Amino acid sequence: MLPILIIAAVLLLLLIRTPWRKPHLDADPGPTAASPLIQETAAHLGQAVQFQTVIDPGGSSTDWKAFIAFGSWIEETYPLVHQKLQMEIVDGYTRIYCWEGSEPSKKPVLFTAHQDVVPAENVDSWTHPPFSGTVADGFLWGRGALDMKGQMIILLETVESLLKTGYQPKQSIYLVFSHDEEVGGSGAAKAAEYFQERGIEFSLLLDEGGCVTVGIMPWIKHPVAAVGVAEKGYVDIELTCSYYGGHSSMPGKRTSLGILSEVLAKVEKHRFPLKLTSVSRQFFLTLMPHMPFFIRVILANLWLFKPVFLKNMAKTPSGNALVRTTTAVTMASGSDAPNSLPSVSSATVNFRLLPGYSPRDIIRHVETIIGTRPVTCTPRRSEPPSFITDWESPAYQLVEQTVREIYPDAVTAPYQLTGGTDARRYQQICSAICRFSPYRLTQREINGMHSQDERISLDNLHRALLFYHKLILRLE
Ligand SMILES: [Zn+2]
């Protein structure tokens, strides 16, 4: 009798905790008809795409002339911006604009974007050439259309059009367009230094990051607007093994590459444990009321179902990245010739850190796996996870309200980015950082960002224009 009573009590508790009613969301206004404003923005973005501001990781093959030409084009295309705003260039190519507000005592806001793009591979298989900026089938096609010349051009269009009406914001608005975000470069860091030296701090920073998606998040039919409030940390570790070299016709029992491979296999096998961070918990709890009943029961009762939930999340690479500090063996090298023993072999493992882990934890983890093997562990690039922006802060709420206005059928939720952005460079001077691109994107469009057929719909251009326009007016 007692077991039945306990089961009944647990079931009752599960049901009591589960929300029963789905909150109401308004309908989407639908795609906008092509207006002259959108056509002009698309034409400008098309021209911007034509500048091949491709960044090279080493910087050696970067065509800096393209950045200079792009800069001149920006100055010609947005004359009022360059008349009324102060502009400074730091680190060679990173542009900082200050639109002075009428009440300088108010903390300014910062909008960021980057001018650089990743290379376009398989050029022949693109539907339209990657640097043509073609407008066709309701889209503007080309490298950088989404990542991230789009946001940059839209910001410039928005400011230019507001200046035309004689508008002046109350609090100052800064824009920073960095030039080497894609290689984790120095432009944004130098801009942050520039602000720090002048004692300028921001009440809100908006950079790229999440967006509105439909059908990508599991268990939810509504569009989801994911606003990045945190980003994972980043650590590259180089593992090196030195062992006897010589001719491969007379090898010893082992080679440096063999020993190193053993370590790599173990690193891959000993994954970090699953963890539900405060951001991911909040993300799912925000979406929960819109999910099917069965999932609502699970999410409302994580005290009981957390292990099952995490295990399920970890089944896909994207879900796994949300709930785990990830490990990826990415580079390896041994001997240069098939018949020489590698006297030195090396490999690189890339880790993405959830909040709560430090680069030091990763090194300790790898060193434990190496044990007594003749392998050394050297950290290369290393960045801790970002801080978490408070989703109850006025800055986040402002972004959320603006998203709701432009995408009324979407559920807005705070999100933890699995990749990195420029935004982390500004952590010392801004306590409310939101990473969000005001677009509604399909999986195909998201995939195009660093591969082929990158494109942005004209409807997205229009909504992003509205988004920044309304956001700036809301700052009042
Ligand atoms: Zn980007």
Tell me the CA–centroid distance for residue 27 and ligand 1, in Å.
Answer: 30
Tell me the CA–centroid distance for residue 181 and ligand 1, in Å.
Answer: 7
DSSP string, 298-312: HHHTHHHHHHHHHHH
- Provide the b/e sequence for 153-172 (b: ≥16 CB within 10 Å): bbbbbbbbbbbeeeeebebb
Tell me the CA–centroid distance for residue 152 and ligand 1, in Å.
Answer: 11
Tell me the CA–centroid distance for residue 189 and ligand 1, in Å.
Answer: 15
pLDDT at position 12: 81
Q: Is the pLDDT of residue 93 over 90?
A: yes
pLDDT at position 61: 86
State the average pLDDT over residues 330-347.
95
pLDDT over 70, % of the chain: 99
| pLDDT, tens only, 402-420 | 999 999 999 999 999 998 8
pLDDT at position 17: 83
Tell me the CA–centroid distance for residue 418 and ligand 1, in Å.
Answer: 13
Tell me the CA–centroid distance for residue 207 and ligand 1, in Å.
Answer: 9
Upper half-sphere CA count for residue 233 (Cβ side, 13 Å) = 21
Question: Distance between CA 121 and CA 124 in Å, rounded?
Answer: 9
Helix (H) or strand (E) holding 278, with range, is helix 278-287
* In 322-454, beta strands by DSSP E: 326-333, 340-341, 344-353, 375-383, 411-417, 433-441
State the average pLDDT over residues 154-175.
96
Question: Distance between CA 152 and CA 9 in Å, rounded?
Answer: 56
Per-residue tokens: 458: 């004209």
Q: Is the pLDDT of residue 57 over 80?
A: no
Question: Distance between CA 131 and CA 141 in Å, rounded?
Answer: 8
State the catalytic residues. Answer: 116, 181
Q: 349 - beta bridge partners?
A: 237, 329
| pLDDT, tens only, 279-312 | 999 999 999 999 999 999 999 999 999 999 999 9
Tell me the CA–centroid distance for residue 392 and ligand 1, in Å.
Answer: 26
State the average pLDDT over residues 124-137.
94
State the average pLDDT over residues 199-226.
93
State the average pLDDT over residues 140-149.
96
Per-residue tokens: 410: 């979407």
DSSP SS3 for 228: strand
State the average pLDDT over residues 144-159.
96
State the average pLDDT over residues 175-184.
94
User: What mean pLDDT is reported for the chain?
Assistant: 94
How far is CA 95 from each of CA 29, 111, 192, 236, rounded to the nearest angstrom? 36, 12, 12, 29
Tell me the CA–centroid distance for residue 359 and ligand 1, in Å.
Answer: 24
State the average pLDDT over residues 96-106.
95
Tell me the CA–centroid distance for residue 18 and ligand 1, in Å.
Answer: 39
Tell me the CA–centroid distance for residue 438 and ligand 1, in Å.
Answer: 13
Residue scoring higher pLDDT (265 or 59): 265
Q: Is the pLDDT of residue 52 over 80?
A: yes
CA angle 53, 54, 56 (to 5 degrees): 135
pLDDT at position 34: 67
Residue scoring higher pLDDT (209 or 216): 209
pLDDT at position 6: 85
Local confidence band at 59 (pLDDT 50, 70, 90 cut-offs): low
pTM over 0.75: yes
pLDDT at position 33: 64
- Residue owning tokens 């062992």: 243
Which protein residues have a CB closer than 5 Å to ligand 1 (ion)?
147-148, 208
Tell me the CA–centroid distance for residue 347 and ligand 1, in Å.
Answer: 27
> What phi, psi does 97 have (nearest 5°)?
-115, 140
Local confidence band at 125 (pLDDT 50, 70, 90 cut-offs): very high
Tell me the CA–centroid distance for residue 41 and ligand 1, in Å.
Answer: 20
State the average pLDDT over residues 238-255.
94
Tell me the CA–centroid distance for residue 177 and ligand 1, in Å.
Answer: 11
286 CB-contact burial (10 Å; exposed 0-12 / middle 13-18 / buried 19+) = middle
